[in-house]
């Protein structure tokens, strides 16, 4: 009997040690950004996104059509943010958790005379800069869920641009879709973003992009939650609020 008690106590002690170690890891310090984020030059990625023309336009490939007279616009980090929104039940009440990342980089190549030939480069987000309204949640997201110590960046690589207008002018607002590969940690899944762009001037664009994805697409279907969180939605809304200026 004493032997059984000792074994039970030993297992309980080991479990407590393991739980304590897990708690230290999950809620411990998070990795800091490795440095300033920079955009991948779009010229190095062309041709990379197939453009689906809204009407028949007499032009060559997206690369040749955008080569002459095209302008490179780059995201302004101080005016651009990537966000995720996810619903949960916290302490018996519904809550929408919003996480905001402050380091976002990317470029877009636009020919004002032929906007249907627009090309987009990869959009990179530093996942280590994501922050919500709760420090413990931030540490859990970075250490246990996104594992940002090993996977610092989230990358969206466009493959197709759908529904671009045949012409735009300063003051116009237009919408289109971007289909591409989104990589979170070591998981890649195709995602379609709905994009709205405002042409504020010849040198400045602003807009929003959004998509809804399933956590399971990126291996995030099972996540550990504290006792006060009864459930977490399987769907996540991804958003990008951006400003881009000509280079």
Question: Which residues, other chains included, contact 189 with Cβ-Cβ below 8 Å and sequence gap of 6+?
Answer: 181, 182, 213, 217, 218
Could you count the other beta carbons within 10 Å of the beta carbon of residue 62?
Answer: 24
Residue 63 tokens, joined: 């690369």
Tell me what pLDDT residue 136 has: 94
Give me the pLDDT at residue 190, please.
99
Output the furthest CA–CA distance in the chain (Å, rounded).
Answer: 88
How many Cβ atoms sit within 10 Å of the Cβ of residue 163?
16
**Considering the chain, what is the average pLDDT of its residues?**
85
In the chain, where do the E strands start and end?
50-52, 71-75, 81-90, 93-101, 104-105, 107-110, 119-120, 123-126, 153-162, 173-184, 187-201, 204-214, 229-232, 235-246
What does the pLDDT look like over 107-146, one tens digit per residue? 999 998 899 999 999 999 999 999 999 999 999 999 999 9
Per-residue model confidence (pLDDT) at position 54: 57
Residue ranges, the chain, pLDDT below 50 = 5, 7-25, 48, 55-66
Contact 101, 83 (CB under 8 A): yes
């Amino acid at each position: 009997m004493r032997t059984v008690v000792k074994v039970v106590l030993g297992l309980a002690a080991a479990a407590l040690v393991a739980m304590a170690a897990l708690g230290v890891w999950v809620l411990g310090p998070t990795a800091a950004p490795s440095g300033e984020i920079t955009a991948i030059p779009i010229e190095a990625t062309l041709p990379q996104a197939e453009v689906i023309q809204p009407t028949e336009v007499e032009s060559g490939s997206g690369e040749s059509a955008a080569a002459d007279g095209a302008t490179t616009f780059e995201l302004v980090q101080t005016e651009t943010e990537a966000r995720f929104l996810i619903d949960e039940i916290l302490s018996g009440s519904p809550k929408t958790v919003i996480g905001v990342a402050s380091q976002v980089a990317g470029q877009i190549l636009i020919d004002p005379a032929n906007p249907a030939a627009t090309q987009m480069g990869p959009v990179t987000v530093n996942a280590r800069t994501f922050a919500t309204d709760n420090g413990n949640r931030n540490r859990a997201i970075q250490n246990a869920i996104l594992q940002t110590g090993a996977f610092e960046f989230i990358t969206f690589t466009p493959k197709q641009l759908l529904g671009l207008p045949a012409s735009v002018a300063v003051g116009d607002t237009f919408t289109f879709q971007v289909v591409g590969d989104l990589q979170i940690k070591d998981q890649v899944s195709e995602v379609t973003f709905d994009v709205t762009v405002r042409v504020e001037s010849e040198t400045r664009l602003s807009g929003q992009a959004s998509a809804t994805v399933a956590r399971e697409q990126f291996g995030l279907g099972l996540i550990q939650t504290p006792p006060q969180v009864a459930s977490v939605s399987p769907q996540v809304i991804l958003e990008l609020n951006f400003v881009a200026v000509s280079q």
